Chains A and B, each alone.
Chain A
Amino acid sequence: MKKYMLDLILKENKILSNQYNLLILTSNEKIPEILPGQFAEVRVDGSPTTFLRRPISIHYVDYELNELWLLIQIKGDGTKRLANMTAGESLNILVPLGNSFNEPMNKEARILLVGGGCGVAPLLYLGANLKKSGFQVNFLLGARTKDDLIELCEYERFGNVFTTTEDGSHGEQGFVTQHSVLNDSDFNYFYTCGPTPMMKAVARHAVNAKANCEVSLENTMACGIGACLCCVTDTTEGHVCVCTEGPVFNITKLKWQI
């Protein structure tokens, strides 16, 4: 897919919680085709300590409204600057980068999308595309407390939503992999993104259930286009760049101890 460097315009900055913002970006040009799982390299202007671009998952693309959504978790100076942007400001991004999630071959696949923390970001766009392709979509979203479970109504547009919180303030108490829906339903296709221990737990469940499982990795990156070789992960084919061979990997390709 052809990659572009674009100056997008911030249409709206939605404050979702004290640590999450949703940037709704638009452009005078048509936003290029982007696949679920792909990401953007975002240049952060006006943050002196932020030197490199920030790789950020594509949260959602609305082609009718010509909108690209980025979910920002405030972690350091760069993401803080992004979260403080105001409507009308422009944002320079490289897009679309990386590979994408694969849809199941079998339309009867029993699909679960498992996200934790900011890792939920690529799952909204994935769920939307899976629904459009005729699949029944289930989301399982985990967070520390109910305040960190954001935009649940967006996910509900595309499928069933199950939740866990560590403090029990929303959904079932505990981690996503302890949710009863995992035992009650016989899912055979998992997609997951979030903290590595969570993704490994999901991968373990999938292996035990002999199910297919794709994970989206979030390694630190410099270039985002396969030139610097900084973001590698170890696979059955040796070190490969997460930015070009990933960020989505089938767990059979990763050398995870699960």
Chain B
Amino acid sequence: MANLEINIGKLQLKNPVMTASGTFGYGSEYSDFLDLSRIGGIIVKGTTIRARQGNPYPRMAETSSGMLNAVGLQNKGVDYFINHIYPTVKDIDTNLIVNVSGSTVEEYVETAEKLNSLENIQAIELNISCPNVKEGGMAFGTNCLSAAQVVRAVRMAYKKELIVKLSPNVTDISEIALAVEAEGADSVSLINTVLGMAIDSEKRKPVLSTITGGLSGPAIKPIALRMVWEVARAVKIPVIGLGGIMNAADAIEFILAGASAIQIGTANFIDPTVTIKVIDGINDYLERHHYLSVNEIIGALEDI
């Protein structure tokens, strides 16, 4: 058995496999299928200061090797999370991380402040990259100044591990990563979904109620891998890689490209036990290549 433990700043993970926000609910949705305590970290659904109804149906379109979604941050608000959901999940033996979103800087700050006091939440993931909301979300993450502004404000208010989730819908993702690193982000996660669109040619109408949505799944993996590689070379803080990871080989590619940990999203919909298979597969890879620890392969990509 190789050592799978890794650190993301102050966070200690038993292995580098986490679940991506919005694909794993609050964990409990999957508890019939797997032992949640085996997962390195669970990033719970995007949470906002007030309850949000999200976008109208239809919110999803299947695509070649992926899916578009336009959920629009449906959630019951941070107070509901603290009072009703947190007590039911706080004792799961894993790292619970809350994905935080907002329409204004103040909303991000207020939500983060409320999460400060939760003993078993050691980190938040700041979502400045949701493509499916009219205000805020991705608008913050596609511009260095606004990304820096929201991270600076949240950094003042939130004392624990601050992960910032980056949008791929930019010209140069490294610039944004450097901007949030300069404002005190402890780590970055990337990529969020890629803005896309689907049309029903028979009806001559868009498929999604919002017309555009976020593309996820293996269709975006090469884009995600390239961006993780670029960002890992640009910043000093740890990078968490995600985007279309379906199996252990995909996960190892991201780690070799420089990710200290990875997140699995859309693959959970196809196989609810995929996280366990990826954890076991990373161990098999390390043993096969005679590595003692996963840390030895972080950024270990060699020249061609």
Chain A residues in the interface with B (C-beta under 8 A): 2-5, 43, 49-53, 94, 219-234, 238-239
Contact = CB atoms under 8 A, between A and B. Distances in A.
Contacts of A231: 57, 59-60
B54 A232 contact: yes
B53 interface: yes
B269 A222 contact: yes
Given A232-B54, A239-B53, A227 B59 contact: no
Contacts of A227: 23-25, 29-30, 268-269
Contact of A232 (B57, B63, B272): B57
A10 B25 CA distance: 32
Contact of A52 (B22, B29, B58, B269): B269
A50 to B, nearest CB: 8
Given A228-B22, A228-B71, A230-B71, A52 B270 contact: yes
Nearest to B218: A51
Interface string B15-30: 0000000111100011
B74 A229 contact: yes
B47 interface: no
B104 interface: no
Interface residues of B, number: 33
B57 A225 contact: no
Contacts, number: 88
Given A2-B32, A3-B32, A226-B25, A220 B270 contact: no
A28 to B, nearest CB: 20
Residue of B59, B63, B66, B69 ringed by the most chain A CB atoms within 10 A: B59
B31 to A, nearest CB: 9
B60 A234 contact: no
Q: Is the interface of B mostly helix, strand, loop or mixed?
A: loop
A20 to B, nearest CB: 22
Interface in B48-77: 53-54, 56-60, 62-67, 69, 71, 74
A229 B54 contact: yes
A51 B25 contact: no
Nearest to A49: B64
B270 A51 contact: yes
Contact of A230 (B69, B271, B273): B69
A1 to B, nearest CB: 9
Contact of A94 (B69, B266, B272): B272
A225 B270 contact: no
B141 interface: no
Contact of B62 (A5, A43, A52): A52
A218 to B, nearest CB: 12
B269 A229 contact: no
A52 B60 CA distance: 11
B137 interface: no
A241 to B, nearest CB: 9
A170 to B, nearest CB: 28
Interface string B186-214: 00000000000000000000000000000
Residue of B22, B60, B69, B268 ringed by the most chain A CB atoms within 10 A: B60
Contacts of B25: 225-227
Contacts of B23: 223, 227-228
B56 A43 contact: no
Interface in B98-145: none
Residue of A2, A50, A222, A239 ringed by the most chain B CB atoms within 10 A: A222
A222 B67 contact: yes
B273 to A, nearest CB: 7
A51 B66 contact: yes
B59 A232 contact: yes
Interface in B137-182: none
Contacts of B241: none
Contacts of A230: 59-60, 69, 71
A239 B269 CA distance: 20
B269 A234 contact: no
A56 to B, nearest CB: 15
Nearest to A226: B29
A5 B272 contact: yes
A53 B54 CA distance: 23
Contacts of A4: 32
A51 B268 contact: no
A24 B32 CA distance: 25
Nearest to A94: B272
A221 B54 CA distance: 16
Nearest to B63: A51
A238 B53 contact: yes
A4 B45 CA distance: 23
